[in-house]
A and B are shown apart, each in its own frame.
Chain A
């Protein structure tokens, strides 16, 4: 090969390397880190760091990731679980997260929170990004993006996030440097913990709706969930988590009950069981009824764990060294976080 040609090839390769390195660095720098403030955006990606040995995987929105504590399920029932939840997670996003989960492991049960049935079309770009950016690339992610995009969104902005987040050059913080490559854990197996409390002051009556029928698209994905679980021999359990807002209408509940009964799947409306669970709306919520705090989530998890153990026959892994080894650091982190939050919110033990 002539020297000139070789020189050109070396230049092209060197230029390509520089381009890739610079663009990768800028992408890492400009993409939001979600390490403080709104940390929900970092939760979906955390799943991939897990040891894939979950009996139960929860999929759904904030009603799951703020109301169920996997550590409680472990401590009380030896259930190994994970919540693949994100803010306003739409049903098709939950479906594709189930598909995605099945690439890595096969849980015994998928628990889906049905609140997102109220949404039939994509809602907010911000929430889309928080759910979708954290997913690893696969056909499920591609299909989830296509199903979720709003008219103003472009697929290429998911492929190259710098196209979406380029304007953050003006809002960079220390976090963007500190968490350029490695990120802290922000959740406890997908659970977003809050120890503070804010009592419910008013229980709202929902505005009457013109039509209570769930949309075609939402129903289509609910059918797909049933099919996916059936095909993979995973039990699907539907729940309505105990949150007072947004309103869960009896008409919606009836449709879910009818669907569950028709498909012979379990459905538990935990909001209706709030008294049995023992939720005290004065002390067990941190935002006046939208989401539960640690106390409420612990009670709900104890209640739900019993169902999972008794009705779904999930095995107790306590005492199994493999599982104990996995859960020990998680429990330490859990209680450290509780203590830190108590200091942060100035909470003293009575």
Chain B
């Protein structure tokens, strides 16, 4: 059930109406039923297969986290009961023993869930690499690819439940004793297909304890959904044709067209992904459930590091909290730190574990986006730029102190454009999905002289009016982003007189209705981030 389909609009409307009509205590049950209905009608693979993965995640997470919490409670009770009789050393030993038990349980949970994700997403990628290695080694034997369809939303719900399991292990949260409530947390339909990746402590209270009805939830939710439709249907899906044309025909569209493709893809991806998240957050908001923001004006970033703090925020923080930090303080890293400092000296040695953890995180980020080398190279490319920036920090400080340009509008603009160029250049790996071809096309920017004029622009599948619509759409998004820097745009609109508000929202509705790319003649375009 695509977010931009009539079915989803009808489904969401029904859920919102029912949700606010039924008693508060029963609302979470309605949401769980809605999740199942949504999952059923959104099936990308045969339903039993789709459900088996989701149910396995819920059941395994439920069992492991409850065992973890039970162990932690048992530990607490034992220590409390024997507070006087146990000496410090015995207590410490007992705690370590129990922690080891919990760690094994956590590892069990992670192995089951990440293992499932690895099997469905990476089996064929692994086979493909093994076959390549065998080819290089001269073996004629080849492994056969397996037919596994990736269940809808698996990357998101597994990340969410694994994060929850780690939180239980860390004692940050207690395990949910009601498996159906855990199922709701894992499968909350607005965020099931493209995130954001929520934390249990943030989401669970809102899911299980519904609020008093307030019309503001519905109006704000619908406004946010409408804004998402605008970005997705009016801008992103319109540019999709041009981006696809440029990417598919590399012979014709090289040189400056690669730059144009980078620009178009930057706009398309932003409007597609943030549009989808707007619909997600809006749908949840209409039910009185706040979700974490996943984007904060990422294209206003002055550095790549800042960009990644503003783009797909919940994924970034997930990798930081659940991979980078644990990895950085792991026994292996501490040993590596000691060893590298000993052999390479303090200055270089201290960097080795940080670099290693960073590289691992970006490798994971890359492969999370897709089981292919282009995504891995894309991830590592980001990592490389981030590490170089970090190393060049003293130089930047020196440069800024000498030139006094830092903080000026022009310099900020230069930095924003530079960041955009870096982000877009790296995204070419995502566009062309082939590492050597990406390098070739990037090189063509400097060597090939493709001409961009009215005629060639028309060849990209867009009419002049489409370019005008995109241009106006981008200006609207830009202006709204500028206004949004000083607080919620919806709050600001809500303060203006009634007919002004009406004109803005009804006008936006009409823009989506008329200029949206939907219905017969337009292939219903999947949201890009649904694929992950």
User: Chain A's interface: helix, strand, loop or mixed, by majority?
Assistant: helix
A125 interfacial by beta-carbon distance below 8 Å? yes
For residue A156, which residues in chain B have a CB less than 8 angstroms away from its CB? 6
For residue A11, which residues in chain B have a CB less than 8 angstroms away from its CB? 498
Expressed in whole angstroms, the Cα–Cα distance for A125 and B498 within the complex equals 42
For residue B506, which residues in chain A have a CB less than 8 angstroms away from its CB? 15, 18-19, 22
B520 interfacial by beta-carbon distance below 8 Å? yes
Expressed in whole angstroms, the Cα–Cα distance for A163 and B520 within the complex equals 9
Q: Are B510 and A163 in contact (CB under 8 A)?
A: no
Closest residue to B7 on the A side, CB-wise?
A154
B502 interfacial by beta-carbon distance below 8 Å? yes
How many chain A residues have a CB neighbour from B under 8 Å? Answer: 20
Cβ of B421 to closest chain A Cβ, rounded Å: 33
Q: Are B514 and A26 in contact (CB under 8 A)?
A: yes
Expressed in whole angstroms, the Cα–Cα distance for A156 and B518 within the complex equals 13
Given contacts A19-B506, A157-B519, contact A170 B6 (CB under 8 A): no
For residue B6, which residues in chain A have a CB less than 8 angstroms away from its CB? 154, 156
For residue B521, which residues in chain A have a CB less than 8 angstroms away from its CB? 167
Expressed in whole angstroms, the Cα–Cα distance for A170 and B506 within the complex equals 21
Cβ of A155 to closest chain B Cβ, rounded Å: 9
A340 interfacial by beta-carbon distance below 8 Å? no
Cβ of B223 to closest chain A Cβ, rounded Å: 15
Closest residue to B464 on the A side, CB-wise?
A170
Q: Are B516 and A166 in contact (CB under 8 A)?
A: yes
Q: How many A-B residue pairs have CB under 8 A?
A: 40
Partner of B502, one of A15, A30, A163, A166: A15
A294 interfacial by beta-carbon distance below 8 Å? no
Expressed in whole angstroms, the Cα–Cα distance for A250 and B522 within the complex equals 41
Given contacts A11-B498, A156-B6, A170-B463, contact A125 B520 (CB under 8 A): yes
How many chain B residues have a CB neighbour from A under 8 Å? Answer: 17
Q: Are A164 and B514 in contact (CB under 8 A)?
A: no
For residue B519, which residues in chain A have a CB less than 8 angstroms away from its CB? 154, 157, 163-164, 166-167
For residue B40, which residues in chain A have a CB less than 8 angstroms away from its CB? none
B515 interfacial by beta-carbon distance below 8 Å? yes
Cβ of B372 to closest chain A Cβ, rounded Å: 31
For residue B498, which residues in chain A have a CB less than 8 angstroms away from its CB? 11
For residue B502, which residues in chain A have a CB less than 8 angstroms away from its CB? 15, 18
B465 interfacial by beta-carbon distance below 8 Å? yes
For residue A166, which residues in chain B have a CB less than 8 angstroms away from its CB? 513-516, 518-519
For residue A314, which residues in chain B have a CB less than 8 angstroms away from its CB? none
Expressed in whole angstroms, the Cα–Cα distance for A30 and B297 within the complex equals 36
Complex interface bits, B488-518 against A, C-beta within 8 A gives 1, otherwise 0: 0000000000100010001000100111111
Of A26, A162, A164, A170, most buried by chain B (CB within 10 Å of CB) is A170
Closest residue to A129 on the B side, CB-wise?
B520
Cβ of A168 to closest chain B Cβ, rounded Å: 9
User: Which residues of A, 312-327, contact B by the 8 Å Cβ criterion?
Assistant: none
Expressed in whole angstroms, the Cα–Cα distance for A116 and B357 within the complex equals 69
Given contacts A19-B506, A152-B520, A167-B521, contact A162 B513 (CB under 8 A): yes
Expressed in whole angstroms, the Cα–Cα distance for A22 and B518 within the complex equals 20
Cβ of A71 to closest chain B Cβ, rounded Å: 37
A335 interfacial by beta-carbon distance below 8 Å? no
Of A26, A152, A164, A167, most buried by chain B (CB within 10 Å of CB) is A167
A184 interfacial by beta-carbon distance below 8 Å? no
Given contacts A156-B6, A170-B463, contact A26 B510 (CB under 8 A): yes
For residue A164, which residues in chain B have a CB less than 8 angstroms away from its CB? 519-520
A336 interfacial by beta-carbon distance below 8 Å? no
Partner of B510, one of A22, A154, A170: A22
Cβ of B10 to closest chain A Cβ, rounded Å: 8
For residue A26, which residues in chain B have a CB less than 8 angstroms away from its CB? 510, 513-514
B residues sitting closer than 8 Å to A (CB atoms) are 6, 463, 465, 498, 502, 506, 510, 513-522
A residues sitting closer than 8 Å to B (CB atoms) are 11, 15, 18-19, 22, 26, 30, 125, 152-154, 156-157, 162-164, 166-167, 169-170
19 CB contacts below 8 A, A to B, read A15-B506, A18-B506, A19-B506, A26-B510, A26-B514, A30-B514, A152-B520, A154-B6, A157-B520, A162-B513, A163-B513, A163-B518, A163-B519, A166-B514, A166-B515, A166-B516, A167-B522, A170-B463, A170-B465
Known: A19-B506, A170-B463. 20 other contacts (CB 8 A): A15-B502, A15-B506, A18-B506, A22-B510, A26-B510, A26-B513, A26-B514, A152-B520, A153-B520, A154-B6, A154-B519, A157-B519, A163-B513, A163-B518, A163-B519, A166-B514, A166-B516, A166-B518, A167-B522, A169-B515
